[in-house]
Chain A
Amino acid sequence: MINDKNSQKIVDIIRNYARKHSLWILAYGTGCGAIEIPPTMTSRYDAERLGVRGAATPRQADVLLITGYLTTKTLKRVIRVYEQMQDPKYVIGFGSCTINGGMYWDSYNTIKALDRYLPVDVYINGCMPRPESVLAGFAKLQELIQAGKADGAKKYKENLEWYRENQKKVIPTWRMPEYNW
């Protein structure tokens, strides 16, 4: 009875509801985007009413919010943070820098497309996106979770070789711990 299909469906509905309404974000404040997080969280826009709340460590977080450009040096840390997070986990790319490099398109040290290196569930564009767009991004992510389509982590596990190859291309000396997750 427990493993029957219909009861699994009910469990999934409850789970997705809970995951949707309780997003603990780890704001990885690279670049200028970090300044848009405080207005989003505080009394003007108050993201907490949607269940969005800051988490202190990667272990506790559900959403990795990457706010802005990523140098190759930061990318290393972001990959480590992402791999320490527990399933289910989602990534939000924030600002044009994560989409196509933004104003750092010709920089010698900045990656241009985040989804080559980490699976991104939702992109929020803008330079910088205002808190309204950030909230819209969260709403989009909630929609995806509700529909069960936010499967970035699954994609990462299935295409791990491809992601690793891309990561190793920009990080030549690969001194990273192997996670057995």
Chain B
Amino acid sequence: MEKTKLSIISQIKNHFNDAREKNYPYNRVDFSVRKEIVPQVLLYLKDVMGFKHLSHISCVDWLEDNEFELVFIVWSPADKIKVFVHTRLDREHPVMDNLDMIWRHAHTYEREMREMFGIQFTGLDAPEEFLLEDWQGPPPMRRDFDTETYAAETYWERPGREDAQDVRETIEKRTGEVLPDFAKNYKR
């Protein structure tokens, strides 16, 4: 049975009253839901509506709102429609339900998010280390983590040359060529 986007929206809204939808062009529909009902929404999408494939789980750091946003992207091979399920977590204590019994490969995404953002997934059975080996700083993908300072403190930086020259000025001097105005904005 062919499903349209509107039928999907109405079906979801009938089941989950507080889901807020956003209808994008082409084959994309977005829903925002509370974090408690995310597993139910995803299970419903998978088992009843045929969204069999979890494409991705991504995380967005809303530092100004003091919140994390998780985005689950699921895809229906039959209807060729993808559904984005958004949810917001508290940034101080980011805790989320573990989803790897719905889709096995959610495990990998969850491990990565635990390492990079410090989000705890209750009941995630995996070793603590994933991509970063013996990492001791704060989770590096958080926006309040200052990468540049950390790198400058941790890794020795080779000092630049004393006689380093500005490329554009040198060319200007050597050839007498007049630089256009916009090029002067990009000085080193």
Q: Do A and B bind each other?
A: yes
Interface string of B146-166 (1 = CB under 8 A from A): 011011101111100000000
| A18 close to B (CB within 8 Å) | no
- Interface size of A by CB at 8 A reads 22
Q: In the complex, what residue of chain A is closest to B137 when comparing beta carbons?
A: A108
Q: Could you tell me the distance in whole angstroms from the C-beta of A95 to the nearest C-beta in chain B?
A: 14
State which of B39-47, B105-113, B128-136 sits at the interface with chain A.
B128-136
Docked complex Cα distance between A100 and B156 (Å): 9
| B140 close to A (CB within 8 Å) | yes
Given A108-B147, A109-B140, residue A170 in contact with residue B155 (CB < 8 A): yes
Docked complex Cα distance between A116 and B155 (Å): 10
Q: In the complex, what residue of chain B is closest to A166 when comparing beta carbons?
A: B156
> Are the C-beta atoms of A100 and B158 separated by less than 8 Å?
yes
Interface string of A105-144 (1 = CB under 8 A from B): 1111111110010000000000000000000000000000
- Chain B residues, CB < 8 A from A101: 155, 157-158
| A21 close to B (CB within 8 Å) | no
> Are the C-beta atoms of A171 and B158 separated by less than 8 Å?
no
- Chain A residues, CB < 8 A from B151: 105-108, 110, 112
Q: Which of B131, B133, B145, B157 contacts A113 (CB 8 A)?
A: B157
Q: Which of B134, B140, B147, B150 contacts A172 (CB 8 A)?
A: B134
Q: Could you tell me the distance in whole angstroms from the C-beta of A9 to the nearest C-beta in chain B?
A: 38
Docked complex Cα distance between A99 and B160 (Å): 11
Docked complex Cα distance between A169 and B151 (Å): 13
Given A107-B147, A113-B156, A113-B158, residue A172 in contact with residue B132 (CB < 8 A): no
Q: List 30 A-B contacts (CB under 8 A).
A: A76-B133, A100-B158, A101-B155, A101-B157, A101-B158, A105-B151, A106-B148, A106-B152, A107-B147, A107-B151, A108-B137, A108-B145, A108-B147, A108-B150, A108-B151, A108-B154, A109-B132, A110-B151, A112-B155, A112-B157, A112-B158, A113-B158, A116-B156, A169-B154, A170-B154, A170-B155, A171-B134, A172-B134, A172-B136, A173-B134
| Other 5 A-B pairs with CB < 8 A, given A100-B157, A107-B151, A109-B132 | A73-B132, A99-B158, A105-B157, A108-B137, A116-B156
Using a CB–CB distance below 8 Å, which chain B residues touch chain A?
131-134, 136-137, 140, 145, 147-148, 150-152, 154-158
